[in-house]
Structure 1
Amino acid sequence: MQTAALAGTLSLPWLRRAAAAEPIKVGSLLDLTGPLGSSGQPMNYAIQLAIADINAKGGLLGRPLQLISRDPQSNIQMYSQFAQQMALQDKVAVVHAGITSASREAIRPVFDRYKTLYFYNTLYEGGVCDRDCFCTGTTPAQTVEKLVPYATKTFGKKAYIIAADYNYGQITAKWMKKYTVDGGGSIVGVEFFPLDVTNFAATITKIQEARPDVVMSALVGGNHVAFYRQWAAAGMKSRIPIISTTFGLFNELATLSKEETEGIVTAYGYYQELTTPASKSFVKAMRDRFPGNYYIGELAAATYEGVFLWAAGVEKAGSVDRMKTIEGLETGVTFAGPSGETKIDHATHHVIRNAYLAKAVNGKWDVIGTYPNQAPADTAAVCNLIKYPKTDKMFVIDVKT
């Protein structure tokens, strides 16, 4: 008995070291193939880079991070399937997942049900209010509110809106209308398109007949890129300018010619052309580790920053326990990343972050405006997790014009 007890005692330090070295599993559920694959790939690269950077510094709480990656192939059913697998079988500590709002709303209830912490690192229409979910991408109050007034002041007050036919496009179109009307402008046409539409000839004819001063686009995905090519082919590129809340997220500057993209104006939380030391370091690390012809925009930067914000919450909590990590995040953790300083807003679980305005010039983005420390004011109007921490809802924000 004494020998057995002594053997057990001697083995305890080894057991403690083994337990301390057990990896922390981090989930990545992003489209790597399908129509949204060109956006999901850089986001997945950014997660890999963030995990490598954290592991190079000794890991998190003395434990290495291990990436569990699944490809839903731009298929909502597969999103739901993999979300359940990550929660129940893989038992990840956190999942960074989803590109479209449709994918987010398919998997968010799954992660809520199985008590899995969820980070959504994509710009979107605003309104998610869920204590188990953190949204690190920009919302309309942070970017569209800068983009539309620029357009009406620079190009004119008559606008034609084209957008994807699901909640992101429909709600973003409302924000476009609101900010146009607030600036004394008017909307002369609005059209919505399913994600599989590739022929825009009839719409281009309608726009020609309406004669707006500017086209406002919230088109989404690889199929919708066809609009910009057809617009240029119809000779409209030099006649009516375009602003967009999504252009560039699908690597359009690389897949389209310079003539087809020249002059398009966008607003995001990050562009790879930013010249800050943090931005340059991030771009170099991405290119060195993952060579290829892809653009490093807000989706990648917000994903990278999302991993580090989660890690800051874990460090604050001293634990990867879901509830303790949430409480750590709610202290207002910050991370100085490629886009600048990002900070978790307790009330909304969104991020206070910089926003930028840029114009496509010769195949690159020329950053023409910087807006520091933009708050998610749209979501804050409907969400207060400090007062109502049990809220678990996607609010459709009442956009009043």
Structure 2
Amino acid sequence: MQLNRRLFLAAAGTALASPYVSRSWAADDEIVIGSIFDGTGIFQPLGRPKANILKMAIDETNAGGGLLGKQVRLVHYDTQSSNQLYAQYAQSLIRTDKVDFVFGGVTSASREVIRPIFKRSGTPYFYNMAYEGGLCDGGTYITGITTPQILESLMPYLVKTFGKKAYIIGPDYNFGQISEQWIRQYARDNGCEVVGSELFPLDASNFTASLSKIQAAAPDFVIDSLVTPPQFSFYNQWATAGMKSRIGLASQTLGSFGQNLIMPPEVLEGVVVGIDYVQELDNPLNTALVKKYQETFGTGDYLGNLVEADYDGWLFFKAAVEKADTKDKADVVAALASGLELATPRGHVKLDPATHHCVMDVRVMDIRNAAYRVIETTSAVPPADLVGRCDLIAAPASNVQLGPKA
């Protein structure tokens, strides 16, 4: 598949309510879903296809007769990768559009802007992203994989394969900061020493000094949590400096939107990845999903785990409404907490009632000739960061961010 490189340039645009919106049904005969994503700006390579796949899932549902005989109306806002606009449009979804449920957010920073707004209004919120983990919030549902779920499988493999000295790199905001804490814990748990760590701003592009620090620290492997665009710069400079043959390199963020098809194959050759889903997974549900998306929106997007998670989020929401047999929020929330299990394009997934996170298969892969190769799969991995620490059945009003255990 040829990936459109223009998707990875910051796009200009005006933040408008999406043309997806239709107001042709009376309120009692519809279910109103809010969608709030980065359709333009620096994070548009993620936000735009996430909005697309949610729209596609809702269109499929409406074409099949809707939910409980009601049509689903989607109200979408493009935040232009601005957290200020996230806050503004979150308020609009509640006060003006009066949505029943919300799907949205890309970065952890954007999530933490809008999550309190939805919590205060009692609006259930789906954050369908891979993220740093640790969020115990009775009003939020997360279908993406967490850093601790990845590390449960990835860290033992890295120590076994490369050695017991690690160096951490990541972005300097809450995703990278909290991920670093989890990586340090899992390193300790696996007898691994962290010999260095650096976090970078989202506009970082020159890693010359960092490469020198890594060489001086002499780790056995580097574990990367970078996001685009710094990730592209780091990997290219890493390969140019000849580091690939000397130090192992692993990532918890590669595979999110087809970086393997954008960067030169030699740059990513042999890089190890911990992930739950890539577009290339060979199963009938995934084949059908990719085919439908490409027929609807073209072949320019890569359906990484950050995009597919919104499709899973919709599947869980749809199953909950059907189980509740009503659109009443309290009944749908109760159904979401009933232990729903579904076959999805990434495999068998359970929505854990106690944590509002998913139990899923986690794969350790490496990249060979620009393609993902499965090395090992761990089935039914729970959100290890929250099990035994977050009980939203007993305390549904909980709202805390839990870090690594002391």
TM-score (norm 2): 0.90
* 1:124-155 deviation digits (Å, cap 9, x = unpaired): 12222222111111113321211111111111
Q: For the residues of structure 2 that align with 1:93 and 1:21, how far apart are their CA atoms?
A: 12
Task: Give the whole-Å Cα distance in 2 for the aligned partners of 1:280 and 1:244.
Answer: 25
Would you say the 8 A contact 2:163–2:221 is kept in 1?
Answer: yes
Q: Which runs of 5+ in 1 are unaligned?
A: 1-17
Mapping for residues 23-102 of structure 1, pairs under 5 Å: 23-102=30-109
Amino acid at match of 1:210: A
User: 1:20–1:181: structure 2 CA closer, same or farther, 3 Å change rule?
Assistant: closer
CA contact (8 A) 1:29 1:71 kept: yes
Residue 160 of structure 2 aligns with an amino acid whose one-letter code is: K
Q: CA deviation at 1:273?
A: 1.5
Q: 1:113 aligns with which of 120, 123, 127?
A: 120
Q: Which residue of 2 aligns with 1:4?
A: none
Report the counterpart of residue 6 of structure 1 in structure 2: none
The offset of 1:191, in angstroms, is 0.7
Q: What per-residue deviation string (whole Å, max 9, x for no partner) do you get for residues 197-240 of structure 1?
A: 11111101111122211111111232332111111121212222
User: Which region of structure 1 is more displaced relative to structure 2, 244-253 or 269-278?
Assistant: 244-253
Query: Which amino acid letter does the alignment assign opposite residue 203 of structure 1?
Result: S
Cα deviation, residue 334, structure 1:
2.4
Distance in 1 of aligned mates of 2:290 and 2:151: 25
Match of 1:312 in 2: 319
Aligned match of 2:9: none
Look up the SS of the partner of 1:141 in the other structure.
helix
Shift of residue 392 of structure 1?
Answer: 2.2
Residues 133-144 of structure 1 aligned to structure 2 (within 5 Å): 133-144=140-151
Structure 1 range deviating more: 300-309 or 171-180 = 171-180
Shift of 1:52: 2.1
What is aligned with 1:186?
193
Q: After alignment, is 102-111 or 191-200 more displaced?
A: 191-200
- The equivalent of 1:329 in structure 2 is 336
Q: 2: CA distance between counterparts of 1:131 and 1:210?
A: 42
Matches of 2:336 and 2:196, distance apart in 1: 43
Tell me the amino acid that sits aligned with residue 191 of structure 2: G
Contact 1:136 1:306 in 2 (8 A): yes
Partner of residue 397, structure 1: 403
What CA distance in whole angstroms lies between the structure 1 residues aligned with 2:284 and 2:257?
25
The equivalent of 1:171 in structure 2 is 178
Paired with 2:209 and 2:135, the residues of 1 have a C-alpha distance of: 35
Residue 222 of structure 2 aligns to a residue whose secondary structure is: strand
TM-score computed with the length of structure 1 as normaliser: 0.91
| Identical counterparts, % of pairs | 43
- Residue range with higher mean Cα deviation, 169-178 or 308-317: 169-178
Counterpart of 1:162 in 2: which secondary structure? strand
**8 Å contact kept, 1:222–1:250:** no
Work out whether residues 168 and 224 of structure 2, in 8 Å CA contact, stay in contact via their aligned partners in 1: yes
Q: Which runs of 5+ in 2 are unaligned?
A: 1-24
Greater Rg over alpha carbons, structure: 1
**SS of structure 2 residue aligned to 1:379:** coil
**8 Å CA contact 2:257, 2:305 repeated in 1:** no
Secondary structure of the residue aligned to 1:380 is coil
Q: What is the aligned counterpart of 2:352 among 345, 360, 372?
A: 345
| Secondary structure, aligned partner of 1:80 | helix
Query: What CA distance in whole angstroms lies between the structure 1 residues aligned with 2:306 and 2:192?
Result: 31
Aligned letter for 1:380?
A: V
Question: How many Å separate the matches in 2 of 1:33 and 1:351?
Answer: 29
Choose the corresponding residue for 1:302, options 300, 303, 309: 309
Describe how 1:11-22 pairs up with structure 2 within 5 A.
22=29
- Deviation of residue 161 (structure 1)? 0.7
How big is the alpha-carbon RMSD for the aligned residues of Structure 1 and Structure 2?
1.8
- Contact 2:39/2:80 (CA < 8 Å) preserved in 1? yes
Output aligned runs, 1:168-317, within 5 Å: 168-317=175-324
Cα contact 2:136–2:355 (8 A) shared by 1 = yes
Q: Secondary structure at the match of 2:96?
A: helix
Amino acid at match of 2:344: G
Shift in CA distance, 30/371, structure 1 to aligned 2, threshold 3 Å: same
User: Aligned partners of 1:20, 1:86: CA distance in 2, in Å?
Assistant: 15
For residues 19 and 74 of structure 1, what CA distance do their matches in structure 2 show? 32
Q: Which amino acid aligns with 1:239?
A: R
Q: Displacement, 1:318?
A: 1.7
Deviation at 1:19, TM superposition (A): 5.1
Q: What amino acid is aligned across from residue 360 of structure 1 in structure 2? A: I
Partners of 2:39 and 2:98 lie apart in 1 by 22
Contact 1:36 1:250 in 2 (8 A): no
Shift of 1:56: 2.4
**Partner SS state of residue 56, structure 2:** helix
Conserved 8 A contact 1:174-1:399 = no
Distance 1:58 1:74 in 2: 34
Q: How much does 1:257 deviate? A: 0.7
Distance (Å, rounded) in 2 between the aligned partners of 1:198 and 1:399: 34
Corresponding residue number in structure 2 for 1:373: 380
Aligned length: 383
